[in-house]
Amino acid sequence: MTGTTRAPRRHYGGRSDAERRAERHERLMEAGLELFGSEGYAGTSIERLCATASVSTRNFYEEFPSREALLVALHDRITQRAMQNALTALTGFEDEPLAERVGRMVRAYITTTSSDPKWTRLAYVEVVGVSAAVEEHRLMWRERIVKFLVDEANRAVERGEAAPRNFLLTSVAFIGAVNELVYYWSMHDRTPPLDDLCAELTRLAVAAITASS
C-alpha cells in the first residue's frame, strides 16, 4: 500500500458527476438541434445555446471546445444513424437486384435524415461552408458514402447488371443529386410525397450505374 487514497466520487441528488455531465451534454445537443435546425447556425450564439439548454457558458466549454464542435457532433449523429439504417436495410437482401437494393438503401437514408425538418436542415444546409474544419468533416463523410456507393456499383458489375468502369464520379454526382433534391423538397413544404422522392433518386442511381460505358 502506498497510502494514496482515491478522491471520492461526488453525487448530487443521487446522480454522479459523470451522469450530470452526460445530461448537460445531451441538453446542449438538443439545444443545438433546435436552434441550428430552426434559426440557423450563423444566427445562434453560444449564449443562446446555453440559455436554451439551461447550462452555464463554463459548462458549454466543458463539453464542446467551440460552437463548430457542437455542429459537427450533431452532423455526426444524424449521418451515422442514416448510414447505419441504410446498411441495416440491405441486410438479408444481398442477392436482390440492383434496383431493389438501391431503393432500400435510398429510402432508409432519406427517411432518417428527413424524419425531422430540423435534421434535414442541419444535414443538408447548415453544415455546408461553415469553416475549413467543418468542411473537412463534411467531406470526410462524403468520401465514406462515395466508397459505399462505389462498392454497391461494383457489386452490380459482378452480378452482370452493369458494365465495369470507374464509378467514382457517378457516386459523387449522385450525392449531389440527393443533397439538392432533398433540400428542394424540404423548401417546398416537403412535397411531393417522400415515396416519390425516393423513387426518383432510385431511378437516377440505377440509370447512372447501368448506363453503357
Distances in Å between the Cα of 113 and the Cα atoms of 55, 108, 120, 186 are: 28, 9, 5, 11
Query: Is the same domain home to 55 and 103?
Result: no
pLDDT of residue 16: 86
pLDDT of residue 2: 45
pLDDT digits (tens, 9 = 90+) for 87-122: 999 999 989 999 999 999 999 999 999 999 999 999
pLDDT digits (tens, 9 = 90+) for 65-90: 999 999 999 999 999 999 999 999 99
Write down the residue that cell numbers 459548462 correspond to: 59
Residue 37 has pLDDT above 50, yes or no: yes
Cβ(102)–Cβ(152) under 8 Å? yes
Residue 17 has pLDDT above 90, yes or no: no
Name the domain boundary from 47, 64, 81.
64
pLDDT of residue 7: 43
| Structural domain boundaries, residue 48 | 10-64
Query: Is the same domain home to 19 and 123?
Result: no
18: CATH:
1.10.10.60
Query: Is the same domain home to 128 and 141?
Result: yes
Name the residue type at position 112: T
Selection from 190, 153, 154 nearest residue 174 by Cα: 153
pLDDT, mean over the chain: 92
pTM, full prediction = 0.88
Name the residue type at position 52: T
Residue 13 has pLDDT above 80, yes or no: no
Grid coordinates of 46: 453560444
Give how far the C-alpha of residue 208 lies from the chain's centroid of Cα atoms, to the nearest Å.
Answer: 24
Query: Is the same domain home to 123 and 187?
Result: yes
Query: Is the same domain home to 46 and 113?
Result: no
pLDDT digits (tens, 9 = 90+) for 139-195: 999 999 999 999 999 999 999 999 999 999 999 999 999 999 999 999 899 999 999
Residue 4 covered by a domain: no
